[in-house]
């Protein structure tokens, strides 16, 4: 419990320093994490990327689910959070910029990735940055691959549909704030 409280304080301090990049006062709830991970076919996933890992709430749960031979890369822009993640999850690869996803991915997953999970606050980003990241996700994801993200509004729905087929849209009221989970397929 003490570790969880420490992580919540770290997350809150990062939010106060840069609310536009963090996107929320609190880390994702267990209900949101479960809803994000539920659509993933864990037995078939060989390569996986997590964008905007924060303090590792989602990372911890996906670590329990991935196969031992699954290649996992974690992207977190904030250096302190990225260092925290590297200590917590040493078997995963760690990178800073989601905008460089495709270049980073080529060194360990030359045939694109099976699944990308994102906690990035897309609607907080300028349109050009949002488009660049979505383009990187599209180029890095294999045909038939799954992209799961959440947002606090439906603003991203139209833009996502320009890149992906929206398979499901879930509302998660038991999160602060309430969230929408987009399950997309390339």
pLDDT in tens, 119-145: 999 999 999 999 999 999 999 999 999
CATH number at 127 reads 3.40.50.150
Average pLDDT (8-32) is 64
Could you give the number of structural domains in the chain? 1
- The pTM (predicted TM-score) of the whole model is 0.89
Average pLDDT (161-180) is 96
Q: Residue 166 pLDDT more than 50?
A: yes
Whole-angstrom distance, CA of residue 67 vs CA of residue 11: 28
Domain that holds residue 65: 2-185
Confidence class for position 160, pLDDT limits 50, 70, 90: very high
Q: Residue 24 pLDDT more than 70?
A: no
Average pLDDT (72-82) is 94
Listed range (34-38, 106-110, 111-115) with the worst mean pLDDT: 106-110
């Amino acid at each position: 419990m003490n570790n969880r409280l420490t992580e919540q304080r770290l997350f809150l301090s990062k939010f106060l320093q840069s609310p536009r990049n963090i996107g929320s006062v609190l880390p994702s709830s267990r209900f949101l994490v479960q809803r994000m991970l539920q659509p993933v076919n864990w037995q078939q996933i060989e390569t996986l990327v997590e964008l905007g890992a924060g303090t590792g709430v989602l990372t911890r749960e996906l670590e329990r689910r991935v196969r031992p031979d699954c290649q996992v890369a974690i992207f977190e822009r904030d250096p302190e959070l990225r260092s925290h993640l590297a200590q917590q999850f040493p078997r995963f690869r760690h990178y800073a910029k989601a905008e460089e996803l495709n270049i980073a991915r080529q060194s360990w997953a030359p045939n694109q990735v099976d699944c990308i999970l994102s906690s990035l606050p897309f609607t907080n980003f300028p349109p050009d940055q949002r488009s660049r990241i979505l383009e990187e996700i599209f180029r890095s994801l294999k045909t038939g691959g799954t992209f799961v993200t959440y947002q606090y509004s439906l603003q991203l729905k139209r833009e996502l549909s320009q890149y992906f087929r929206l398979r499901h849209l879930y509302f998660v009221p038991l999160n602060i704030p309430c969230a929408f989970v987009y399950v997309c397929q390339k």
